[in-house]
Structure 1
């Protein structure tokens, strides 16, 4: 045994040596893998020994599994200005931070968060620092993030900052430095959590061996602290998002789901009597805490940017009255300005009585004459950037200017601008971002990175997330890293010398209250769930018609004239739905069928409708399981790929069948796994209304006065009722029995009456606005429709009667929308919802 160990150690050393043989950090930039003397750091050696033991094929399998999981989870981001989301670019290796280093980082970030919170209290309160000459007023008031409407406001809960982030990098000496502060609406914590979920499952044994600190305790403490400040037993905590077009919407969804917060947009909230309320299906419900991801300038169109459509009119007044806790307070973004960085070392000594534990980049603010003069005289030694902006004022989209790289004309222009408005500029020491190893082409390569560390205010002080959000650039000369097309993200592993206990977000209380309420579902969420149900049912109906048409086309040579009539009617049905173009050459039924299934240009095709469903699902992603999201995406991907290539008739039928099977699995998943709360009621209401409307249209098209045995047979196929019909009736398909089964049979799960019964049951269970015993308009319609269907006689059904039922169903859908999907401040119906595909 002892003879084998040296052999194993030698083999591990050989693998590691081969892995780092060509690794060459940039000159003058500290590196995470190698120390100053070019030696492999001990914690990286341990990591690489275990990593390389998987072998090249094993590693590729694990990395491929991680990529699939990212797609399955729907982790994505949007590059600013782009309409389409990108799949999340997770690097294959984590950033490793040993315990000894982490202690210093965490202490420095916690200290900095406390300092900045106290500064905000002074800026918006007594302003003693300005009065005593410790800080120029222009360094504060010059920032567009200084919100004057918040002056004199005592923040509910006593904190201006509740969630803070610091961007870190190593300086030339190898020590960690703060590159920037984030307090406006810090992003990245959700992505850090998703990175951990993906990478820990891709490398589970390695994750355990390295004793990586868990993230769950940090989020548990944050949730507990933000719940406590609401001072209600069961507070309603909302995460305010700019909406699905936000660059980081996927992260916001994940955080809301993980923490159990209600994800809301500005239109979901309304101010009334100095308080904020959520518009729900049960009327207005008090919002106690807002964790905002909307910049302060856009939060309240009454007092800030009047053009904002993503804020809440009256939010600032609710804050002033102490009626809502906001994290972070509007105006907290002022501490992000670079103008303050040069003052922080002295302010720390003045306010906290101690030096900064994490130093800044050396910063000179050109708003002070002495520093302005120094900067101009030694311009080549500095990087010049905006004091209050991410852009260099006067230089378009340019972020900064390196003094030593400026042309004579640029230099003169910049000096003139600094002389004219020095308050707008800062000069900082030029830095070369330190590097960390990234896996590329089966080898390690150094890449520049920026590490974002998060801190949350709790009852026990500031808690720092033991990990972070690491952004890695693919450009070796990068001086900053943002999540654009050329960047990756990486998980951050804080290593300890002790085994880590498993932890969750479950409360420590041994006797928590038991709740079985339906929940206060936001109106916007109900709207989108309702339309998810409608879209999925519409896609299924379209594919059922396509399948029936394809099957009949396959038997065309054996079909008589009456059989061809059913083919023509099915084709006309698809054209009438907008699933296929009207100008199909020679009314080619196969082309119509395939266009209806996978034609991206047809608004009513199955592919288009599934895309509508996915879009609606993305807005309420926090309310859907990963399985639901994954299955919707799987159908879309399958139809998209099929529509992009030539396909044979047998392949077309097989693809249609497989898509229907996936939709059936999705329906079963929703039925069996969706908790019977209000959200499920609306998704099922959408399905039932759409199915009833579809059945009416099938019946009008295929069971009219001129119906044939073949058209009636096609109707039974569409309703999955062939077996039941044959078990009831010995004779072939006849008009009245088929219509009874399609429209009036209370035992047929695809009949119109069956849907009407379920619709009425849902509406009876939903909350009402007024407990006066009077039926609300949707319920009144559903009761009447159900009664008429239950008392109808199939022998008296014709196209006009069925059309009347169909129109009543469409009216019922409108009444549901008016009642539940948007509410004004008085709890009644208000503005109409965004238009949907009818």
Structure 2
């Protein structure tokens, strides 16, 4: 079982569909955040990768010839409806319009645009992890969207909205009066025995009056061409963020085609969803959080996209605290009340106190806060109950009973075997039907071959045994044959199976359906596109407007509704911790790179040779002490390779760069695309093999390119990060590490009797050769070098400069004390600043420098203790803060 409490399930018998979609029911951990090469990338230059699968040589065809070549030989698979062609083989009107527009572009232009889109995906970190993966993969979007005419979409939207309202009514009864079970309209035994039925939520009225706020349905066409529901997604539906990313990528790649077809926009849907969640809160300007299981989640990238797009705080269970019946987010400015939580973890993992005691993803007391109406949650815990297969057999009757109308979007013909009459019907058609567990979480009992003639004797005996002894554990349904849509195979269009996920959001005006969705489409005829992974790509979904132009929408509210503010944004303590360590790891990587460059640059130095390589020995010893190289002896090139590119050495530049990337992965909603591209480029430079052989020249070139990227990252933080946000913590991390390194370098290379090489290396490590040369004409000397590296407040690399910046950053952070006394980090920095300002380079004992280094470590620990204490039982200084 995953950390989210959901185990990987077997595919649905006969279809390859799984109950638990890794795009959907993930919300737990399945491995570490990506820290190695991105999977799914080409073996060549990253700039040449083609993530969208369009590999077409340039041709000189005219548009008509190009269209004929693309569609030559295309035919629907036997017995399955197809999106591109009708039953008579003619192009459907929507596709004729789309391909006609696309054919107006030369092949080379299309390929260039889609290759650029692939580079954009890779560079900005649009990624996912298939269930069980330990590393991320570039997002595999296909080159073609799925097209749906506006009139057909209206029928789909009406059916999805009706189905969402029906499931809301079922949930309201099951967790309320229980009239449906008393009337025999839902099987009481199935409800009570379902692991997704959460008894502590019975009788808890949801804030805002709804259990279900966000719903998704997986759709496919039946043999008659009508859309059918394959699965309802009510637990924590995922994919909306992927749909948003798909749209941004495709509109960027094919803007003329996108505009010419009047594609319905999706922004108004997200705005309506945001307004709907806000309406469930008791305060006029509510604070909304997206509750995630963290960066190990299969869909964490998508969650970060949504939190950034919607303006929600991305929070984990450890970020939350329930006190006096209210829910708060732990921030660097104290406790801040949260009014609404959009849940993206399994319902029973929300509260280890009243639900699953094994949960490490929730917050104790959340159920009590829900019971008191102090927080609204979308979706309420327990909504996963209506995903269970046993309910599908009852939905047509329930729709007539609860809504007074027939079900507009039916599912597969389904029988719950716990009902004697339905079980008898199943036994009569046993060899034809497919089987799956009645309760959604109870997966893995039967293989994907357990249907029709695909069952062997052992499987048949096992199924019949369950039907005899525990029939209520099984549901039977007609096998699925997925309809097809066109994909590009490198030379032409071919039909492939697909599944369409459609999203609906509860708003004050009723259910709102996203005009589009999330499409998963197979790259081969024999792979069922249920979970993102090998052989499956995503596709944007274009709903073609009925009017002359598609409605324009934006998430920007009217200007008269937003008051001007200049206050810091909400910064959870966990996010501040990751920002702090992002800065620290980047600075450590830079220090190792600079030290390695000095080793390589001086390996052939005549002066070093005449000094018996004493300076080189000190460089090697420091690299070894920092865990960057395994030993101090050996050729400089071999040691430099370890120090730069050996991820197995915990102190190598690559190891620190990967650590920085892991911290950044937890901050995706806060980092720009440029920052992510620079982090990815730094990793690629450091882990790339040297050209030809690992020569000293090649390694030195690699080090210099890496230093350029660390400088770029520092510049992005300095120039692009808002000073009212997380910049202070990134800068605190960089400054404390740079100050430590200034002390350590001075201790190693600035002792009494230091050689010219020692002092030259010290200036190089402090990036101060040019400044020193401009100030001193007579050459290097101990006291001036020490002064520039340690005490010069005008040198941005000196210890004194770092201490001044530390004081500035801490002064700008919120204080949680109400007595006016300075907090521990401020006191420690002020004391150190006074000593550094009063020191003289010529008489400065190295023991004092060593003491300063120790004090800097104490400052780092004090910052951590004050702003991001760890552990659920840690003393929290925010108890003195005003709760807002």
What is the DSSP-based 3-state SS (H/G/I as helix, E as strand, rest coil) of the residue aligned with 1:455? strand
Matches within 5 A, 1:200-219: 200-219=251-270
Pairwise CA distance, 1:270: 1.5
Q: How does 1:8-23 map to 2 (within 5 A)?
A: 11-23=62-74
> Is the Cα contact below 8 Å between 2:387 and 2:440 reproduced in 1?
no
Contact 2:129 2:298 in 1 (8 A): yes
Query: Cα deviation per residue 1:474-509 (whole Å; 9 max; x = unaligned)?
Result: 342455621122211111001114222443211134
Deviation of 1:799 (Å): 2.2
| Offset from partner CA, 1:344-387 (integer Å, 9 cap, x none) | 11111111111111111111111100000110121122111111
CA distance in structure 2 between the partners assigned to 1:390 and 1:12 by the alignment: 51
Instruction: Specify whether residues 644 and 577 from structure 1 end up closer, same or farther in structure 2 by C-alpha distance, changes over 3 A only.
Output: farther
Aligned with residue 549 of structure 2, among 483, 499, 518: 499
3-state SS of 1:169 partner: strand
CA contact (8 A) 1:567 1:589 kept: no
Residues 68 and 788 of structure 1, relative CA distance in 2, 3 Å threshold: same
Q: More displaced, 496-505 or 283-292?
A: 496-505
Query: Counterparts of 1:637 and 1:12 in 2: how far apart (Å)?
Result: 40
**Equivalent residue for 2:463?**
414
Q: Which residue of 2 aligns with 1:516?
A: 566
Quick one: distance in 1 between partners of 2:690 and 2:279? Answer: 53
Distance in 2 (CA, whole Å) between partners of 1:169 and 1:465 is 17
Please name the residue that 2:4 is paired with.
Answer: none
- The yes-or-no answer on 1:777 pairing with 2:827 is no
Q: Does 1:662 align with 2:709?
A: yes
> In the aligned structure 2, how far is the partner of 1:107 from the partner of 1:311?
35
Q: Does 1:401 align with 2:443?
A: no
After superposition, the Cα gap between the structure-2 partners of 1:406 and 1:593, relative to the gap in structure 1 and judged at 3 Å, is: closer
Q: Where in structure 2 are the equivalents of 1:429-508 lying within 5 Å?
A: 429-478=478-527, 481-497=530-546, 498-508=548-558
Question: What is the SS of the residue equivalent to 1:510?
Answer: helix
- CA distance, structure 1, for counterparts of residue 310 and residue 760 of structure 2: 52
User: What 5-or-longer segments of structure 2 have no aligned partner?
Assistant: 1-60, 879-884
Residue pairs, 1:640-719, within 5 angstroms = 640-642=687-689, 646-719=693-766
Tell me what 2:13 maps to.
Answer: none
Task: Tell me, in whole angstroms, the C-alpha distance in 2 between the residues paired with 1:652 and 1:136.
Answer: 69
Q: Contact (CA 8 Å) 1:824, 1:830: kept in 2 or not?
A: no
Comparing both structures, which one devotes a greater share of its residues to helix? Answer: 1
Structure 2 residue 90 is the aligned partner of structure 1 residue 39: yes
Query: In the TM superposition, what whole-angstrom CA distance separates every residue of 1:34-74 from its partner, at most 9, and x where no partner exists?
Result: 11111111111111122223232222212211211111221
Cα deviation 1:552-586 (Å, max 9, x = unaligned): 225x246552383322222222222111111x5x4
Does the Cα contact within 8 Å between 2:486 and 2:495 map onto a contact in 1? Answer: yes
2:598 to 538, 548, 570: 548
How far off is 1:823 after superposition?
A: 6.6
Residues 520, 529 of structure 2: 8 Å contact kept: no
In 1, Cα distance between the equivalents of 2:186 and 2:561?
Answer: 51
Report how many residues are paired: 817
| Maintained 8 Å contact 1:284/1:827 | no
3-state secondary structure, aligned to 1:334: helix
- Superposed CA offset, 1:657-685 (max 9, x none): 11111111111111011000241000000
Deviation at 1:542, TM superposition (A): 1.3
3-state SS of the aligned residue for 1:515?
coil
Which is worse superposed, 812-821 or 49-58?
49-58
With 652-661 and 525-534 compared, the bigger mean Cα shift is at 652-661
Looking at structure 2, the residues matched to 508 and 809 of structure 1 have their Cα atoms a distance apart, in angstroms, of 48
Distance in 2 (alpha carbons) for counterparts of 1:645 and 1:353: 75
**Counterpart pick for 2:416 among 342, 365, 371:** 365
Question: Does the 8 Å CA contact 1:391/1:400 hold for their aligned counterparts?
Answer: no
| Counterpart pick for 1:802 among 841, 849, 855 | 849
Q: Which residue of 2 aligns with 1:567?
A: 616
Asked if structure 2 preserves the Cα contact closer than 8 Å seen for 1:385 and 1:400, the reply is no
2:678 to 609, 615, 631: 631
> Is 2:135 the partner of 1:88?
no
Aligned ranges 1:810-825 → 2 under 5 Å: 810-822=857-869
Following TM superposition, by how much is the alpha carbon of 1:400 offset from its aligned partner in structure 2, in angstroms? 6.5
Instruction: Name the CA distance, whole Å, in 2 between partners of 1:191 and 1:797.
Output: 59
Aligned to 1:622: 669
Residues 378 and 830 from structure 1, CA distance in 2 versus in 1: closer, same or farther, beyond 3 angstroms? farther
2:437 and 2:475 in contact (8 A); partners too: yes
> Residue 768 of structure 1 aligns to a residue in which SS?
coil
Tell me the residue number matched to 1:311.
362
Tell me the distance in 2 between the aligned counterparts of 1:824 and 1:448.
Answer: 47
Is residue 99 of structure 1 aligned with residue 146 of structure 2? no
Q: Distance in 1 between matches of 2:440 and 2:571?
A: 39
Cα shift readout 1:130-185 (whole Å, capped 9, x = no counterpart):
12222221232232111111000100011101000011000010000111100100
Deviation of residue 591 (structure 1)? 2.2
**1: CA distance, partners of 2:365 / 2:658:** 36
**Secondary structure at 1:178's aligned position in 2?**
strand
Instruction: Using the TM superposition, give the Cα deviation of residue 648 of structure 1 relative to its aligned residue in structure 2, in angstroms.
Output: 2.5
Q: In structure 2, the residue corresponding to 1:380 is in which secondary structure?
A: coil
Could you say if the C-alpha distance between residues 597 and 477 of structure 1 is closer, same or farther in structure 2, counting changes exceeding 3 Å? Answer: closer
Question: Distance in 1 between the 2:153 and 2:145 partners?
Answer: 15
CA RMSD in angstroms, aligned pairs only:
1.9
Deviation of 1:317 after TM superposition, in Å, equals 0.7
* Whole-angstrom distance in 2 between the partners of 1:288 and 1:394: 41
Partners of 1:699 and 1:715 within 8 A in 2: yes
Residues 151 and 644 of structure 1, relative CA distance in 2, 3 Å threshold: farther
- Distance in 2, matches of 1:329 and 1:34, equals 42
**1:85: Cα distance to partner?**
1.4
Query: CA–CA distance in 2 between the matches of 1:169 and 1:636?
Result: 41
Give ranges in structure 1 of 5+ residues lacking alignment: 1-9, 832-838
What SS is found at the alignment partner of 2:195? coil
**1:524-543 equivalences in 2 (<5 Å):** 524-543=574-593
